[in-house]
Structure 1
Amino acid sequence: MESSPREPEAVPYHPARSLATGQRSLGDPSVRYPLWPPLTAGCPRTADGDTVYPLEVEYDYAAVPEDLFRRPAGPGLERWAPLLPPLAAPGLGEGNTPLVPIGGGVHVKDESRNPTWSHKDRLNRVAVSAAKESGAPGVVVASSGNHGAAAAAYAARAGLRCAVFTSPHTPPAVASFVRAYGATVVTVEREWLRPLVRRVVEEFGYHPVSSVTDTAHTGHPFGPEGYKTIAYEIFRDLGRVPAAVYVPTGYGELLFGVWKGFHELTLLGRADRVPRLYACEPAAGGPLGAALRAGRPAAQVPVGPTGAYGIACPVGGYRGVVAVRRSDGAALAVTDAQLTAARAELAAQGMWVELSSAAGLAGLRARRASGAAAEDGDGPVVCVATSSGFKDLATGTGTYPATTPEWPAVRELLRQGA
């Protein structure tokens, strides 16, 4: 009698060794905390009025393996485990996205090639790992799209529950995407997002992987550490530090992560400088630009109508200020018309991106048109493209009439396309 086939046994995930040693306040780097627990509500000792400062992770840089940056490339943040917080949850092959040259010394770091088609996968690999390591039963996130989808996917992979609070304006395609991973999705107006996230943390013990503060964005202290790996990969693929990096910017976590990655390369003696970083915000808002102009650590601004919903943020955080100032960069405001032109340019190169995702290239094109880009000096320039065009507000809403099958009509369409 034949035996019935056995179910395959689950292979336990063994995290690679991390050299993370603790957390420190960005408001006052002399203020330090242990690595656990992650201080997801910002630094309690350096908060100043309405401003709450985020934290960053410290490492034992002297113990970084000498061959770390010579190891073969491969998907998954495990490749960079010594310079990341503990990766206690399994991944999905995130990272190692292509750096695509588009002419004129410009390269596009295409983050839409990640498992859930956005840069948020890098953040959620480390933030969901923190939830797993902390013993939380689940994660909770407030998100308009990309963050919620990535959190839901990585929570599912880690065997954790996930609650996503989102606004009624989330694109239908993205709403379906988040639900596909089994997340509990709660749709409320924007002003209720963070209060409800905090309530879930208090009552259910879920681990927050998005910001829980209202007046200044803090976010998860481990999150931007995942974004550092973008800088590592750019440096590896170019073989040098670029002249400048143009980054779509909402709350500034991605911007800070890219800055920190290049900064660490200088600390480790791999590079001699950090590239200039340009935060590319929608002209309809722009809290980082407002904070820099006012000389403040963070600012709140009204947000007007824009199709770049993914980076249309009313509140900023100190991380973005740090990245711009320490890289001698700037905050750039881009209009929807400039974003649309940049998205079309990327599509003509074979990359279909969300409107928000085109902000980096839009900022570069505007800066070159004004002649200011000459200040960056010689060398390659990188524009980060953050997510797929699948995430856009208008995706899946258009209808297209059938074409008459007669050859003259088909030929005319082909002629028009040429």
Structure 2
Amino acid sequence: MTHKPLPAPTAYDAITALRCLICGAEYAPGEVRYVCPHHGTEGILDVVYDYAAIAAHTDRDALTANHRRDMWRYLPLLPIAEPRFIPPLDVGWTPLYHAPRLGALLGLPNLWVKDDGRNPTASFKDRASALAVVKAQEANARTITTASSGNAAAALAGMAAGVGLESVIFVPASAPQAKIAQLLIYGATVVLVEGTYDQAFDLCIAAANQQGWYCRNTAYNPYMTEGKKTAAYEIAEQMGWEAPDRVFVAVGDGCIIGGLHKGFADLHALGWIERMPRLMGVQAEGSAVLYEAWRRGVNEIRPIVPHTIADSISVGVPRDRLKALRAVRQTDGAFVVVSDEEILAAMRDLARLTGVFAEPAAAAAVAGVRRALADGQVGRDERVVVVITGNGLKDIPAAMRAVEGEGKAVRLPPTVDALMAWLHVQEKD
């Protein structure tokens, strides 16, 4: 584990307010911890910055010259008061691959894959969790908690272990075993909720308020967007500070797409990119709550009982819906819906044509690209980035379903004759 020097200063002193997305009420940092008190858990807050103040102490050239290769290279743009609390694991600066073979299959030559499955706990959620443990320590918390369908939970457990915080995790009992194993190996206290993710979310908030634990929950904690926005910074920098035309990402609660929007908006406000990319949110058919709200042109949702193979985006009540809908609407993007069968096909195509192994929710973004192209929503000459939010080892049963009937495994005795006989049959076929 390499400890690298941290840049300074941070953007903490450039925060002008925490602004409610519903009523516009503004609060100073520390005045409220999580949400606007006028709206309870629905009162999602946005961190607002004085961009002139940020520009006074950093610029794009200074950032490019920074040799640190993780999300903390962007510390001058992050709301951290105490950099000494930054966890030791290297989070972020994940690879961005040009994907010509996958692009050829889809008919999209200018296609890139951002592989966030390369993070320490194998998902995009490490970005928010890394920032969460910093804010928890700033608040003098000894225990940190979250509700999750799996990835955010593992991310928080790993980041908490790295700094010695206790973690209490609420996950649906139906979460994949690989994700539960991650929680246990990191030493988290795991509460398997016999219910949905949405019920686990509500239980987590109630427990945090009663016990005084620091809560990392998506949307409820305004700083989670700030961690997730670092992926947008990386995409822009890795593409030479020229934003792509579109970015596709799977959407459940809505925090990731909201974070990408915040990151690109920061860069645009600072003049570091000339234009915003169109953000494309991909949802599974059995969990398309935000798609329906977007299609109807409203912010109100119709809660459902979700059902999809993509557990990480299986959400019936998207908690960060306001930021997600804003991200798509303000960038003239769109929501796209894909089936579980399309998701499984995308898992295969992505792995076989790029070498990137994605869990179902992450592969949904690739399925969304294919669907949007078929529907004429994307031009064949556009520069497109698809964000892979989680590694395929998170859900081996789903991966086995994806290759059902297509696998090439063969069982043979350990002899050359047996191998040659089998190869001879293959040649005949």
The TM-score with structure 1 as length reference comes to: 0.87
Match runs of 1:182-193 below 5 Å: 182-191=187-196, 192-193=199-200
1:394 aligns to what SS in structure 2? helix
Please tell me whether residue 95 in structure 1 is matched to residue 87 in structure 2: no
**Deviation per CA, 1:230-249, whole angstroms, max 9, x where unpaired?**
11111111121101000111
Letter in 2 for 1:55: L
Deviation, structure 1 residue 205: 1.1
Q: In the alignment, what sits opposite 1:257? A: 259
| Structure 2 unaligned residues grouped into runs of 5+ | 101-108, 402-406
- Counterpart-to-counterpart distance in 2, 1:259 and 1:28: 20
Match runs of 1:9-48 below 5 Å: 16-20=8-12, 21=15, 22-29=17-24, 31-36=25-30, 39-40=33-34, 42-45=35-38, 47=39
Match runs of 1:58-207 below 5 Å: 58-64=48-54, 65-66=58-59, 67-72=61-66, 74-86=68-80, 87=83, 88-103=85-100, 104-191=109-196, 192-207=199-214
**Deviation per CA, 1:268-296, whole angstroms, max 9, x where unpaired?**
11112111100000011211112212333
Contact 1:173-1:396 within 8 A present in 2 as well: no
| Structure 1 unaligned residues grouped into runs of 5+ | 1-10, 212-217
- Counterpart-to-counterpart distance in 1, 2:294 and 2:390: 26
Contact 2:279-2:331 within 8 A present in 1 as well: yes
Contact 1:27-1:54 within 8 A present in 2 as well: yes
- Counterpart-to-counterpart distance in 1, 2:304 and 2:314: 10
Residue identity (%): 35
Cα gap change, 1:284 to 1:395, in 2 (>3 Å): closer
Letter in 1 for 2:413: T
1:96 aligns to what SS in structure 2? coil
Deviation, structure 1 residue 127: 1.4
Alignment coverage as a number of residue pairs:
395
**Deviation per CA, 1:171-207, whole angstroms, max 9, x where unpaired?**
1121111111110001112354134313321332111
Equivalent in 367, 392, 395 of residue 392 of structure 1: 395
Deviation, structure 1 residue 149: 0.5
Q: In the alignment, what sits opposite 1:382? A: 385
Cα gap change, 1:238 to 1:14, in 2 (>3 Å): closer
Contact 1:278-1:332 within 8 A present in 2 as well: yes
Letter in 2 for 1:62: A
Letter in 2 for 1:59: Y
2:317 aligns to what SS in structure 1? coil
Contact 2:171-2:192 within 8 A present in 1 as well: yes
Which stretch has the larger CA shift, 187-196 or 254-263? 187-196
Q: In the alignment, what sits opposite 2:276? A: 274
Deviation, structure 1 residue 414: 9.6
1:141 aligns to what SS in structure 2? strand
- Which of the two has greater helix per residue? 2
Letter in 1 for 2:160: A
Contact 1:339-1:355 within 8 A present in 2 as well: yes
- Counterpart-to-counterpart distance in 2, 1:36 and 1:222: 12
- Counterpart-to-counterpart distance in 2, 1:96 and 1:414: 47
Q: In the alignment, what sits opposite 1:56? A: 46
Equivalent in 323, 327, 330 of residue 326 of structure 1: 330
Deviation, structure 1 residue 360: 1.2
**Deviation per CA, 1:46-100, whole angstroms, max 9, x where unpaired?**
x39xx82411112232233023442345333221112112143324110000001
User: Pairwise CA RMSD of aligned residues?
Assistant: 2.7
Q: In the alignment, what sits opposite 2:250? A: 248
